[in-house]
Amino acid sequence: MPSPFPPQLIQALRNARSVTVLTGAGISSESGVPTFRDPQAGLWSRFRPEDLANAAAFRRNPQLVWDWYAWRRSLVADVAPNVGHLALAKLEARVPEFTLLTQNVDGLHSRAGSRNVIELHGSLMRNRCLDENVVVEPAAGDEGRPPKCPRCGGLLRPDVVWFGDPLAPAALTAAQEAAVRCQLFFSVGTSSMVNPAAQLPMLALQGGATVIEINPEPTRISDAVHLSVRGAAGAVLSGLVMVAWPDAV
Ligand code: BV8
């Protein structure tokens, strides 16, 4: 299959000092993790993620929201990073200044070997005290009921950013800086519907970067970016690394 990337873009990637990549649920879909646009599986099929991923839903019914996250944690524990995650880890090793911004909370980028990862929306792998807002590592036996904070006895919640929650200021600032300073910005596997993450490709454009999107479907930024590649993250990213660095193992 011919590369969807023009030679001048491959050359720009080889010579780039700074590359920033934003990923969404699409890159993990090839590992078997459903995206937010996919209909939910099984008993969760009657819920929309946005109806569960918010503080009001948790306060209203902590057990229901906790069960949804426990189900997602168990699903993620049983999957592995795919070639798309692995290609980004290889790309990081080739670029002097590489920043990976992810909306995903599944931890698959770190498991694939990526190091400079900013988890814009937190992580399924950690809990946070609802009252003190401090991170509490999950303990065995947490799966059943929403556990209590070992410090104050308050409820623990997953350490993810819910709809209506602000993003961690340090993470958002670092992400915005990485978008503005890079020469190449890739938006991979995201519908670009959730803010403020969806603003990052626009920031990159304003900063003068070449912005490339990788998604089997068009999105609301497809017409705004320099190149929108219709394809799956795994095949396109691994193909890109292979063409740019044929000796990459
Ligand atoms: C904030 C963690 C302000 C949790 C997530 C009304 C009320 C309240 C808020 C708002 C409102 N209106 C607007 C808002 C703002 C809101 C927002 O943007 N809402 C949208 C829905 C309109 N944003 C927020 O609330 C944010 N916070 O604004 O705070 C504030 C400031 C100060 C003080 C107080 C408040 C917080 C947003 C973060 C929400 N948390 N996740 C959890 O996971 O449970 S969002 C969650 O959904 C994901 O993290 C991700 O960001 C988003 C889903 O997006 P995608 O990743 O793009 O996934 P999606 O399924 O949509 O698309 C998948 C794509 O992959 C598709 O395009 C598909 O074609 C493609 N694909 C499929 N297969 C492949 C592929 N691509 C490549 N390869 C493949 N193989």
At residue 44, does pLDDT exceed 90?
Answer: no
C-alpha of residue 14 to centroid of ligand 1, in Å: 31
In this structure, which topology does domain 34-78+125-160 adopt according to CATH? Answer: SIR2/SIRT2 'Small Domain' (3.30.1600)
At residue 42, does pLDDT exceed 70?
Answer: no
**pLDDT category, 3, cuts 50, 70, 90?**
confident
C-alpha of residue 19 to centroid of ligand 1, in Å: 23
Atom of ligand 1 nearest to the CA of 69: 44
Please list the active-site residues.
Answer: 121
**Which pLDDT does position 120 carry in this prediction?**
98
From-to residues of CATH 3.40.50.1220 in the chain: 7-33+81-121+167-244
3-state SS string over the chain? Answer: CCCCCCHHHHHHHHHCCEEEEEECHHHHHCCCCCCCCCCCCHHHHHCCHHHHCCHHHHHHCHHHHHHHHHHHHHHHHCCCCCHHHHHHHHHHHHCCEEEEEECCCCCHHHHCCCCCEEECCEEEEEEEECCCCCEECCCCCCCCCCCECCCCCCEEEEEECCCCCCCCHHHHHHHHHHHHHCCEEEEECCCCCCCCHHHHHHHHHHCCCEEEEECCCCCCCCCCCCEEECCCHHHHHHHHHHHHCCCCC
Homologous superfamily of 7-33+81-121+167-244: TPP-binding domain (3.40.50.1220)
With 0.85 as the threshold, say if the pTM is over it: yes
From-to residues of CATH 3.30.1600.10 in the chain: 34-78+125-160
